[in-house]
Structure 1
Amino acid sequence: MSSLNRKIHFLGTKIRSLRKLHGLTLEDMVVRCMQVDDKNTPSISYLSLIETGRRNPSENLLLLLSQIFQKDLEWFLDDTIQDEPLENNKTDSNIDSMSLEPNFLFSKEILESAIPAVLSQTGTSGRQFAHILIRSYQEKNKNQFPDIERIAEEVGDKRMPLSVEDIMDLCVYHGLKIKWFKSERFSTSDDSGRVIKTLFRSFYDTPNILYLNKELKNQPARLKYDLACLLGHKILHNGDGILSSHATGGVIGGSPKPFEHKSSHIQQKDILYAWRDFECSFFAGALLCPKVPFRHFLNRESYSISSFKKMKITPSVLMRRMTSVSTYKHWHYFDAYPPGYLRAVYRGNGVSIPWGNMRLVTDPCKHWSIFKVLNNTKIKKPYSQLSLLKDEDRQSLYASVSIRTRDAAKNPHVISTGIDLGPAIESQGLDKDELFNDIYSSCLGGNGDILLNETIRNQLLKVARTLNISWAEDAIDNTCSIICPRSTNCPRPNSCEKHPSSNKNFSWLNEIKSEIIKKGRKRK
């Protein structure tokens, strides 16, 4: 092989390694190129020839790739290859977990009796526990469920966007009948006793009737979602009727009736209904936003939150599908209702939860972007924030965007999605820990909130531009804030909340024990 051929082959290998490093297919790469410079965009086949060393890329193409991946042109011409792909499937160590040891205490028989007792004593309902199980399963799988994706794509033929009429035609094709009913908003209480406004939207009546509230005719984006969910029940479960009704403003799986008895005992039907609800919801998202076409759409839109308007879907569906279709898997998603109840949570990146979605705690960290928007009604537009999470000795950096919206019952709430920037920072060859320490020191100088200096911002902007996420760029240009899981352990120089001193607890007994032993040794 001549020297020139070796250089061409090496360059092609380097380009292929860079593409795979960021989890892109050849088609994804071409879409990104078209977004930046359609005149110099190669075809998929030509890009494949370049990667296999059978074609030499032009200088214009190298300049285009350097812009996409935020690399200097010289980087493509040196003799190094970074061949470690992003660990998208790695289980995030930030998610709380425990070892089930010793084995005899965590046997199937013991857990079958212990779990109901724990739920009863903590006031956790069977439905809540079922959704925690499913959420953990989602996070473990990075929101990847290819079987449901495939079925939805076969039903919808990967068409996008689908209109209300398109989905109704699919329902009719699969033997479903649609009936309309009239039901206005009403007030009830959720599992925590909080009074809420609820709209009963839709339900499935076996074997093949879909009942839809006439109110949804004025909300086509939500109507499409409900139709898609109910169609999913017919496709996935043969329409057997084991599916929760759709009600907005209540708890997941529908709103309870006034004065309904709330059981803390877990029943098998709680698990079954929760899993069916999840499958139908995921099917609806995959039908409305088929994976590959939707990912290309997001790339063209630079993951703009406002792009839900072009797709004619709800912003919630847009955000949740982002976490599933993106080649970057380190996402989270929150849905919060006033004054701070987290109704929906997904933590594929292992981000801490500022407080649980079952009850409101007394020591929240008010600096999370979602709660800034929730507590400040003057924020009307999407709000982007860069956040350094400080949890004891662990530091993580997140970019997030939050938007205020209303549900079908007109209840105000805030939805938020974000990414862990750590893996992307490492893919740029930067020292993550050193960068986080610099950011933390800078934030401390501003009592927890500061606009980062130009050097740090430029490093982070390269990361955001490589990911092609516009609101991450916006977050980097805004003030960076230190956040924490609970404000009782606030890492800021001046604690943002004042809390009364805690009474001595069990962990203090070890200190007393040590003092007694120390005094005993001195007497000897």
Structure 2
Amino acid sequence: MKSNKSLTRQSHFLGTKIRNLRKRNHLTLDDLSSRCVKLAPENAPSVSYLSMIERGKRIPSEEMLEVIAQVFQKNVQWFLDDAPAPDELTPEKGSRGGISGMALEPSFLFSQDILQIAIPEMLSQTGTTGRQFAHLLIRAYQEHHQNHFPDLERAAEEVGQKRMPLYVEDLQEIAEQKGLSIRWFSDLKNQKNLSEDEQSQSMKSMVTSYLQPPSTVYLNKKLKKNLARLKYELAVHIAHCVLHNNDGEKSIMVAGDRAQYDVQKKRPNNSIPSTQLESQDILHAWRDFECSFFAAALLCPKVAFRQLLDRHGYEINIGKVIDVSSSVVMRRMTAVSAYPHWHYFDAYSPGKLKAVYRGNGIPLPWGNMRIVNDPCQHWSVFRMLVANQEGTAAQLSILNDGDIPKIYCCESIKVQDLTDASHVLCAGIELSPAITAQGYDALALVNELKKLCIENGGEAVIPAHIKKVLIAVARILNINWIERGIEEKARLICSRGAVCPRKPGCYSIPKM
């Protein structure tokens, strides 16, 4: 074993290399310390000691350095040579990632006055409803901020005092403290006066809870059989009270297709959706988003939930530990993870995305406003929709973003809502930035894998030398399902079947 004096003589760039690796992998000092504790608690550095190491004020013991090296999948000697950190490991500044946009030039055509005239006309011609467009605006705002809303996080933490887990009784107590009273209703009472056609329609959607002004929350008795959903709905109504003072349109929660319900009458709505963009559409969409984000933050406070994810390698089933739904777990992953390049889909058959987040800019497999007739059949979310499969499934995929191939990995799970309708939840990340962060040529690696997939009909076993790189990245990110995806064949996917990269192409209109 080397003495600490020996380490000192070889530690010229040690602190800088650790700091650059940490920042390149979007880890805080606390994150890195936690990772080390998970691997070897007896040799793990504290946050303050890590800070001193990075600033050259302290030299770690050999055992401590071995733990740090294991986190970053590096050889200990890499930290001790005389070479400074290579340029590719120097953190980029000001890189936000996310969705790229278009330049709004010439500015006189994109003035507020002209857009106010053009947008309603565009909605009318495309058949997009005002509420759909409002939700698209909210999603764009969410993606621009990469799902970081610290004011909502703070508001939720103040109410829940960062406790995790919160039980139904805790949420009921919080609701009562905020002046809300809780009543229960039976869904059958809402259906007894409906026609047969309306009853058939209402089977596809269900009012699960609603606020009766000024402060009475009505909960569907069916929620008693699904405590995770019950907790979420209570949290949403608490959010509406805290953030919006129970103001505005009745806050109504619906399982299934919300568009089928008249929110005032709490019954199926057969009217034609309006393509007019009303100001209330924006306000209601924003309220729904804020309350949903607050509810998830209340149930899964950022620091505690991030530590739980880290301990369990981002497994989706940790929802059972704190009794929250897979949907909440996967959405919160995108908000609390140190790695920013996430996406999330909630998909119903036949090809309708109910919820979308794509902070990594991934193209959509199909729309969330209309059904497309040529969805790529090889997206994991699509395959899970048409397959009778239990549990989760991981998939490694290669997808062109413009002319540049990128590599993604996702975990999908099929679940049922309260109407017994199946839908698929999918959370995934883009791996290309993580590969680059470790000093590898991500584009060359992905091109090599893409070529292998094309030569083998669209999917291929991952070669050992590429697998080695990907496993190292998976362990640095500490996401277990990436390693499971690596063990499967890599698949080519596309944004639409009409631009299929496979040779021969596999475009067809699937029967669902």
* TM-score normalised to structure 1 length: 0.89
Structure 2 CA distance for aligned equivalents of residues 442 and 24 of structure 1: 33
The alpha carbon displacement at 1:96 in A equals 6.0
Corresponding residue of 2:146: 142
1:60 aligned onto 2:63: yes
CA displacement at 1:9 relative to structure 2: 6.2
Q: 1:477 aligns with which of 459, 477, 487?
A: 487
What SS does the corresponding residue of 1:452 show, helix, strand or coil?
A: coil
> Partner of 2:471 in structure 1?
461
Contact 1:86 1:427 in 2 (8 A): no
Task: Specify the alignment match of 2:32 in structure 1.
Answer: 29
Separation (CA, whole Å) in 2 of partners of 1:403 and 1:298: 17
Task: Please tell me whether residue 15 in structure 1 is matched to residue 18 in structure 2.
Answer: yes
Q: Is 1:123 matched with 2:127?
A: yes
2:90 matched residue in structure 1: 84
Number of aligned positions between the proteins: 491
Paired position in structure 2 for 1:331:
342
Moved more, 321-330 or 444-453: 444-453
Does the Cα contact within 8 Å between 1:40 and 1:61 map onto a contact in 2?
yes
Query: Separation in 1 of the partners of 2:12 and 2:216?
Result: 60
Q: CA deviation at 1:14?
A: 2.5
Q: Specify the SS of the correspondent of 2:187.
A: coil
Q: Deviations over 1:411-464 (max 9, x none)?
A: 111010100111101100001111111111111121111111111111111111
Larger CA deviation: 225-234 vs 385-394: 385-394
Structure 1 residues 97-106 or 290-299, which shifts more? Answer: 97-106
The CA distance in 1 between the partners of 2:475 and 2:43, in whole Å, is 19
State the distance in 1 between where 2:201 and 2:368 align: 13
The amino acid that maps onto 1:331 is W
SS of equivalent to 1:98: coil
Counterpart-to-counterpart distance in 1, 2:111 and 2:56: 56
SS at match of 1:106: coil
Distance in 2 (alpha carbons) for counterparts of 1:273 and 1:246:
13
2:398 equivalent to 1:395: no
Give the AA of the match of 1:84: T
Q: Name the structure 1 match of 2:159.
A: 155
1:39-438 equivalences under 5 Å are 39-78=42-81, 79-82=83-86, 84-85=90-91, 90-92=96-98, 95=99, 97-184=101-188, 197-242=204-249, 244-251=251-258, 257-377=268-388, 379-438=389-448
Q: Distance in 2 between the 1:129 and 1:87 partners?
A: 33
CA contact (8 A) 2:362 2:401 kept: no
Residues 9-61 of structure 1 deviation map (CA, whole Å, 9 limit, x = unaligned): 64233322322222222221121112212222222233333333333211111
The question of whether the paired residues in 1 share the 8 Å contact of 2:97 and 2:341 is answered with: no
2:374, 2:508 within 8 Å by CA — same for their partners in 1?
Answer: no
Give % identity.
Answer: 49
Unaligned 5+ segments in structure 2 are none
**TM-superposed deviation, 1:65:** 1.2
In the alignment, the residues of structure 2 paired with residue 461 and residue 76 of structure 1 have an alpha-carbon distance, to the nearest angstrom, of: 21
**8 Å contact from structure 2 (residues 212, 250) kept in 1:** no
Q: CA deviation at 1:3?
A: 10
Contact 1:22–1:86 under 8 Å retained in 2: no
**CA shift in 2, pair 1:91/1:18, >3 Å:** closer
SS at structure 1 position matched to 2:465: helix
| SS state at 1:119 partner | helix
Mapped pair 1:38 → 2:45: no
- The CA deviation at 1:180 is 1.1
Q: Unpaired segments of 5 or more residues in structure 1? A: 500-524
Tell me how large the CA RMSD over aligned residues is. Answer: 2.3
Query: What residue identity is the alignment partner of 2:228?
Result: A
Structure 1 distance, partners of 2:10, 2:260, is 59
Secondary structure of 2:128's partner?
Answer: coil
Letter paired with 1:199: M
Kept in 2, the 8 Å contact 1:243–1:276? The answer is no
Whichever residue aligns with residue 114 of structure 1, its letter is A
Deviation at 1:86, TM superposition (A): 5.9
> Cα–Cα, structure 1 residues 213 and 87, in superposed 2: closer, same or farther, change >3 Å?
farther
Task: Show the counterpart of 1:449.
Answer: 459
Deviations 1:465-493 (A, max 9, x none): 10000011111111100011111111111
Q: Could you tell me how far 1:255 is from its partner in structure 2?
A: 6.6
CA shift for structure 1 position 6:
7.1
* Of 22-31 and 417-426, the range deviating more from structure 2: 22-31
The CA deviation string for residues 176-216 of structure 1, in whole angstroms up to 9 with x for no partner, is: 1111111149799xxxx998611211112222221111111
Secondary structure (helix, strand or coil) at the match of 1:104 reads coil
Greater shift in the superposed pair: 72-81 or 306-315: 72-81
Answer yes or no: is the 8 Å Cα contact 2:412–2:425 preserved in 1. Answer: yes
Distance 1:87 1:245 in 2: 43
